[in-house]
Amino acid sequence: MSFELNFISLTKKDFKEKISRHRLALVEFKAEWSGGSHIVEPVMKKLAIAYRKQLCFFRVDAERNRDIIEDFGIDRYPTLLLFSQGTLVDRISGIHPVQEIKNRIDHQLHQKP
What CATH number is associated with residue 44? Answer: 3.40.30.10
Amino acid 113: pLDDT: 67
Stated pTM of the model: 0.91
Residues 90, 100 contacting (CB under 8 angstroms): no
> 97 lies in a domain?
yes
> 9 lies in a domain?
no
Amino acid 3: pLDDT: 42
Q: What is the mean pLDDT of residues 32-57?
A: 92
Amino acid 5: pLDDT: 58
> 5 lies in a domain?
no
Domain count, the chain: 1
Amino acid 109: pLDDT: 94
Which residue range forms the structural domain that includes residue 70?
A: 14-109
pLDDT digits (tens, 9 = 90+) for 56-105: 999 999 999 999 999 999 999 999 999 999 999 999 999 999 999 999 99
> 42 lies in a domain?
yes
> 79 lies in a domain?
yes
Q: At what angle do helices 41-50 and 98-109 cross, to 10 degrees?
A: 40
pLDDT digits (tens, 9 = 90+) for 8-36: 899 999 999 999 999 999 999 999 999 99
Q: In Å, what is the CA distance from 46 to each residue of 66, 85, 95?
A: 27, 23, 14
> 75 lies in a domain?
yes
Amino acid 7: pLDDT: 85
